[in-house]
Amino acid sequence: MHMHTVNARWLAAATLAALAACTTVPKEKPTATLVREQARWVPVAWAELPGWNEDRLQQAWPALMRSCQSPSPPWVAPCARAQQSPPRSDGEARAWLMQNLRPYRVESLAGTAEGLITGYYEPLVEAHRAAGGAFRVALYAAPPDLATRHPYFTRRELDTLPAAQASLRGREIAYVADPLDALLLHVQGSGRLRIAERDGSVRTTRLVFAAHNDQPYRSVGRWLVDHGELPAGQASWPAIRDWAQRHPDRVNELLWSNPRYVFFREEALPDPTLGPRGAQGVPLTPGRSIAVDPKSVPYGTPAWIETTEPLSNRPLRRLVLAQDTGGAIAGPVRADYFWGWEGNAAEEAGRMRAPLRLWVLWPRQ
């Protein structure tokens, strides 16, 4: 390595460190613990956030700006300031956050500060517009009578009862070949379809969550563990698929263990670089968006996470935005980390299940 390159990198690192060290944080009276419906937020010093000075915070700025497209009242003024002067470096982003926000540790109402993080991604699935050959597993739009039954038919009933099947007739969006691909889309809540149209053309489109049948979500991985089919802690998506291939006669039993059924709507995909829209209504950003329980963390809130990466087992400490939710995402210190749709996203998401510590950054009053 050339010496001038080493010097340049040392100077850049020193400059950022000096900027962070010189950041002036407004002096205010100590703030009180904030209590939300499912969590309490305990005010802490910035030094409590592990790895705070190491994250590439400028990479999180686009996700923050997307949340600022529809700010809640506490965020109107901070978002306006952020939009007027975007940071030119990680150091500037860090300084802005420290000057405008304050950190809180998220705990349960009983004071437990450790929770759980899992992962999700946007799958790409091969599909046909018309049923035929191996492509016979339908993906459905919401049935017209969905609002008339609470709860609606279970997954098993939709597969077996004539009245339930009649409610779905004509609501088919597309067909996939593998029922586990359909389940994957149900669990992830959205996905991309590489779809063969009736005229033979092929295009990529997006399916997004439209509704569900108001039945409880049950993890098929947990079902396999509880029934002794897989060892505890090893119910990854690859392991679930492997089990299904070895037990084709029991696939329906596996699927029906989860009574929840998801309905979709189809959207065009004019910009394939944008993620699906989360519950906040803004596109998700790979590696910078999480799903949360909104009773604990409001949508649009920047959060700091400490956990581990599933494949490398390296520490994962970074700024993320609470921009989505999910049926299994409930509780105070609970998050689902969005891995995106490229590279190892499927494997990372499928294997992610780790302890989590969580902090939120909230506007100074």
pLDDT digits (tens, 9 = 90+) for 206-254: 999 999 999 999 999 999 999 999 998 788 888 999 999 999 999 999 9
Q: Which residues contact 64 (CB under 8 A, 6 or more apart)?
A: 82, 302, 321
361 within 8 A of 212, measured Cβ to Cβ: no
Please tell me the distance from the alpha carbon of residue 297 to that of residue 36, in angstroms, as a whole number: 8
Which token pair is 126? 């091969």
The predicted pLDDT at position 18 comes to 41
Residues 136-157 have pLDDT tens digits of: 999 999 999 999 999 999 999 9
pLDDT at 238: 85
Q: Say what the pLDDT of residue 113 is.
A: 97
Q: What's the pLDDT score for residue 328?
A: 84
Q: Name residues of the chain where pLDDT drops below 50.
A: 1-26
Query: What is the pLDDT, as a whole number, of residue 5?
Result: 31
Return d(Cα 312, Cα 221) in angstroms, integer.
22
How confident is the model at residue 23, as a pLDDT?
45
pLDDT at 42: 97
Amino acid (1-letter code) at residue 91: G
- Structural domains of the chain in order of their starting residue, each with its CATH number: 21-122+275-365 (2.40.40.10), 123-217+258-267 (2.40.240.50)
Percent helix / strand / coil, the chain, rounded to 5: 30, 25, 40
Distance (Å, whole) CA 291 – CA 312: 22
The pLDDT of residue 29 is 52
Q: CA quadruple 60, 354, 283, 76: dihedral positive or negative?
A: negative
